[in-house]
Structure 1
Amino acid sequence: MTDSSSRKIVDSANKYNDFETRFYEWEDGMSSAGFKLELPQRHFEEFDWGVTGYNFGRVIGGVLTVSEHDIDRQYGNLFAMPDHIVIFIVIIGGMDCQCFGKRFQLKQGDILIQDMSQPIKIHVFPGDLRPRLCTYQYIIMPKHSLHFNVDIASLHGKTIPASSPVNIILRNHFGTMVQVFDQMTEQEVLSTGEGAASVFLQTLHLVAGKKVEQPFAHSARLERICMFIENNLAQAINVEQLCKDFAISRSSLYRLFEPLGGIAQFIRSRRLLLAKRLLRASSMSDQSLATIAHQCGLELSALRRYFQEVYGATPSEMRTLFQKANTGHDIIDATHVNWVSSL
């Protein structure tokens, strides 16, 4: 059966004696989706939560039960996990959302799609029955699974109503995965994750309306610039040249990237994430750190400094961690942050 120590997390507030620890543990889990947790003073004493998380390899998901609260993804925490998509499915209670200047509400059974590099505010409120708790499911997938066939940014804040056939298929599929998880072998869990990723991605294609045959050809200017940066990380990326190539003024370019922390921060973040992927790749195991830094458009000294600042480890230490995990000599701790970062 499944190795629950590495692929399943069961945690709840009642494991922790004091409020500060209960709050911190919940906040730490929410950070895996780039969220900052906000809790009104009046809810401090009664704050309660429970989570069961599942790692299906290509897909991470789970069930959350929690007191009324607010979650916010804004400038300061957009880069916690920017390379992922998260789907919320409301089970009990509802969500009041603010996204791109619009306010809308989700009720039982509705689905919310989010680009984890985009800001959003969500007030999660409970159902009418006691104890007054909210319950929702979550699904997290890496953006690269989409192969850029979908305009990802355009899906941010999209909802799928409970009555939609696509919603029903997605909800039932994920609900079955969770229900039978403990009865599956390790290989069955991973195979189920592969299949589920295809189902969920096709769902996103349907919600988007159509596939984009020419990557980003019909996307917003921000998406096209991001794609250009992604394809040229090994090269020097000059703001003046970006402005010329995309017919945009410097001030407009800065405004465009302001929600993502700024153009310089975005480029650095993409380079670090590329370096992280290269360090994980077995095909790059014989390449020096200097070579990897060069492929990411960085000096080796800058790569080391940025890794220490962002990940709290050197590139060498992270490479060793990945190598141990790949050979089975060590298991990355089962936390949502570790799971998502390894997708």
Structure 2
Amino acid sequence: MHNRVPRPDRPPRVSWAISSDTNADAFDTYRGSFVDLYEVGDVAHAGKADFSSRTTVHLFGSAVIGRGRSVAQTLSRDAAMVRRSGLDHVSLIINLAETVGDIDGKSVRAEAGSVQFRDLSRPSTSHTNKIDTLNIMIPRTSVPSWLLSKGLHGLVLPASSPGGRLVASHLMTVAEVADGLSEAEGVAAIEAAFVIAERFMGHERSIAPAHTDAIHRSIRERAMALMDAEPVNGRWTSDTLARAMGVSRTSLYRAFERTGGVKAYVLSRRLSRAYAELRARKGNQPSVEQIGQMHGFSDRRTFVAAFRQRFGMGPDEVPPSNPQASRLAQDGSELPMDRAMHDVVMDWLRTSEAA
């Protein structure tokens, strides 16, 4: 038996256990909390009977790892939901029941225990006769470059393959001992899963790709720190930014290449931060104008237009977060909540992406 003694300094954790046996609205709250992640369908009795969900989710750095169990259901992300959620994350899924689905028009079937990869910025639909799953979600900018180059959406490492068994076994163990891990240990354990997967997915290692990825992440972080210090300063161009950081323009471009370029990355991250700020505000304070200005937008009109372009809705339409649930998640309550908390997990994802 693995040691599961919680650490006093552990990262945020949230857990829930709900059932239609004890709460007639259990499925409705479950589906409602899922609203920006998946549309839930094909649940027996419309969730009014024989429905249950039991899940624990941990936040390690910018990644979340969740272990959940529930009834048969279909989970879908259409183009409208992809846009509204604003997530630019990759999901790695292990379900201990067979899964069938449609990934961008391509039929996918994964045997029980397979490792599945999903790009959350693209549509997908999957159905399983039982949710008994482990799910990791991490920002695209933290995904190894070799995996992104493979067109990962819909990729499957079969459970019958050595690589599939090894990755699944490793991550199931991580989920089992997660209560006893520090943030650094959890991050390292998740990164190790990608190292294992790399060995079995036909990738021929080039010169120190992990080091290259780390260097590019460092350049992106330094660039954001400079621009955050003066968010509305118009002097930042590729040339002035490269000089201020002491790197070449070529190095700067390469660091931002897989994020769509410097300008696109900065805009995306500032909008993600603004979204998180809008979720966290009390009433109408700070105002939309103030939040826009804090994140580098010179006026309301510019901010609203950019926000609507990214999320398909205006800043005033962002629903508020549940402060009590978020506080309990940060406090690491041992007791499962009596409502599903996918909305809190979504806030984690948006905040960590914007960090």
Please give the TM-score of this superposition, normalised by the length of structure 1. Answer: 0.63
The answer (yes or no) to whether the contact 2:12–2:58 under 8 Å persists in 1 is no
Contact between 1:84 and 1:143, CA under 8 Å: does it hold in 2? yes
Are the equivalent residues in 2 in contact too, given 1:89–1:171 (CA < 8 A)?
Answer: yes
Write the letter of the residue equivalent to 2:111.
Answer: K
- Distance apart, 1:230 and its partner CA: 4.2
Q: Which letter maps to 1:17? A: N
2:142 counterpart of 1:157: no
CA displacement, residues 109-166 of structure 1 (integer Å, 9 cap, x when unaligned): 111110100111111113xxxxxxx311111111111265542671001100113232
The 5-angstrom pairing of residues 134-283 of structure 1 reads: 134-146=131-143, 148-151=145-148, 154-182=151-179, 184=180, 188-203=181-196, 205-206=198-199, 207=201, 209=203, 229-233=260-264, 272-273=271-272
- Is the Cα–Cα contact under 8 Å of residues 113 and 158 in structure 1 kept in the other structure? yes
**In structure 2, distance between residues paired with 1:90 and 1:63:** 10
Change in 2 beyond 3 A, CA 1:234/1:180: closer
The normalised TM-score by structure 2 is 0.61
Q: Distance in 1 between matches of 2:144 and 2:276?
A: 16
CA distance in 2, matches of 1:205, 1:62: 22
CA contact under 8 A between 1:70 and 1:122: conserved in structure 2?
yes
Higher relative contact order (CA 8 A, sep 6+): 2
Cα RMSD, aligned residues only: 4.1
> In 2 relative to 1, CA 104–5 (structure 1 residues): closer, same or farther, beyond 3 Å?
closer
Aligned-partner Cα distance in 2 for 1:276–1:205? 34
User: Which residue in the other structure is 1:308 paired with?
Assistant: 315
Distance 1:208 1:81 in 2: 31
Residue type of the alignment partner of 1:95? T
Does 2:68 match 1:61?
A: no
Of 23, 48, 55, the match for 1:17: 23
- After TM superposition, give the deviation of residue 38 of structure 1 in Å: 1.1
Count of equivalent residues: 265
CA distance in 2, matches of 1:228, 1:86: 17
- For the residue of structure 1 that corresponds to 2:122, the secondary structure is coil
Residues 230, 270 of structure 1: 8 Å contact kept: no
**Secondary structure of 2:264's aligned partner:** coil
C-alpha separation in 1, matches of 2:105 and 2:348: 32
Unaligned runs of 5+ in 1: 127-133, 216-225, 236-267, 280-286
1:244 corresponds in structure 2 to none
Aligned residue type for 1:35? Y
**Counterparts of 2:29 and 2:7 in 1: how far apart (Å)?**
25
For residue 248 of structure 1, what is the aligned residue in structure 2? Answer: none
Cα distance, 1:169 vs structure 2: 2.6
Structure 1 residue identity aligned to 2:42: L
Q: 1:190 to 1:199 in 2, by over 3 A?
A: same
Aligned match of 1:83 in 61, 85, 88? 88
337 and 179 in structure 1: CA distance in 2 versus 1, 3 angstrom threshold: same
Q: Against the structure 1 CA distance between its residues 29 and 332, is the aligned structure 2 distance closer, same or farther, given a 3 Å change threshold?
A: farther
Asked if 2 retains the 8 angstrom alpha-carbon contact of 1:59 and 1:139, the reply is yes
SS of alignment partner, residue 113 of structure 2: coil
Is 1:114 aligned with 2:118?
yes
Mapping of residues 25-104 of structure 1, within 5 Å: 25-31=29-35, 34-40=37-43, 42-44=45-47, 45-79=49-83, 80-91=85-96, 93-104=97-108
- Counterpart Cα distance in 2 of 1:43 and 1:311: 28
> In the aligned structure 1, how far is the partner of 2:176 from the partner of 2:56?
12
What is the CA–CA distance in structure 2 between the aligned matches of 1:304 and 1:10, rounded to whole Å?
35
Q: CA deviation at 1:209?
A: 3.1
* Contact preservation (8 Å) 1:86, 1:140: yes
- Shift of the alpha carbon at 1:17? 1.6
CA distance in structure 2 between the aligned counterparts of 1:123 and 1:234, rounded to whole angstroms: 33
Matches of 1:176 and 1:29, distance apart in 2: 27
Give the Cα–Cα distance (whole angstroms) in 1 for the partners of residues 57 and 160 of structure 2. 26
Q: Does 2:104 correspond to 1:105? A: no
Query: % of aligned pairs identical?
Result: 17
SS across alignment from 1:232: helix
Secondary structure at the aligned position of 1:293 is classed as coil
